[in-house]
Amino acid sequence: DVKVTQSSRYLVKRTGEKVFLECVQDMDHENMFWYRQDPGLGLRLIYFSYDVKMKEKGDIPEGYSVSREKKERFSLILESASTNQTSMYLCASTLTKVGSEQYFGPGTRLTVT
Amino acid sequence: GQQLNQSPQSMFIQEGEDVSMNCTSSSIFNTWLWYKQDPGEGPVLLIALYKAGELTSNGRLTAQFGITRKDSFLNISASIPSDVGIYFCAGFPSSGAGSYQLTFGKGTKLSVIP
């Protein structure tokens, strides 16, 4: 079974704090993704990575950065959290670049106050 | 980016009924994926489709990759209360800059009345 894990299920942070969300996959997948999910807006891609130390911007990268130092781990960083970053954050991974099954983690519900 | 049109947006059905939902696009897709998401959880992959016309089952769930490659369908037979959740379609477009990024539908919220 593919397993994607995320470091926290729930987080509450204050405005201006630096926030780290960690994701780990155990299937040796090449590609990893960070999404946020908001009511009425669906899933939106923040950043993705096709290889170690490689990253590409998704549709909504502003206010976020990422790090992929090891193949199995992909971190999302909020440099200075703001209330409009309150959301459900979902990590995902796929084996190959195009057309393969994408597996999601359980999600992190982040609240910024 | 691209959008997938998923319908219906929500459904209320009696336990034991069959359910159908679909996803359409204005462009051709190479892969269709169907997910289920429970409240507060991440989406769980139900079925993956890779060829036009392909029909794949997973228990009481059956999904089809449309012949035109612009649509996909998900059917649930004999619904039970644990089928409640939001069902998403997703796909990889066949070409263009977005062909390596998964495109999602907005979801179908299914409620099952016991």
Digit-coded pLDDT (tens) for B43-77: 999 999 999 999 999 999 999 999 999 999 999 99
Digit-coded pLDDT (tens) for B16-33: 999 999 999 998 999 999
Dist CA B110 CA B35 (whole Å): 13
Q: Which two tokens stand for residue A106?
A: 């359980």
What percent of chain A is helix, strand and coil (3-state, nearest 5)?
A: 5, 55, 45
| Contact across the interface for A99 and B30, Cβ inside 8 Å | yes
Chain B CB contacts of A33 under 8 Å are: 102
Q: How far is CA B30 from CA B76, B90, B107, B114, in A?
A: 23, 11, 20, 38
DSSP reduced 3-state for B99 = helix
Of A58, A90, A99, nearest to B92 by CB-CB distance is A99
Residues 6+ apart with CB under 8 A from B102: A33, A45, A102, B33, B90, B91, B92
A9-18, A48-57, B7-16: range with lowest mean pLDDT: A48-57
Q: How far apart are the first and last CA of chain B?
A: 39
For position A100, what pLDDT does the model report? Answer: 82
Contact B47, B74 (CB under 8 A): yes
Q: What is the C-alpha R_g of chain B?
A: 14
Chain A CB contacts of B1 under 8 Å are: 59
Q: How far is CA A109 from the centre of its chain?
A: 12
Q: Give, as one character, the DSSP assignment of residue B82.
A: G
| Contact across the interface for A42 and B101, Cβ inside 8 Å | no
pLDDT band for position B34 (cuts 50, 70, 90)? very high
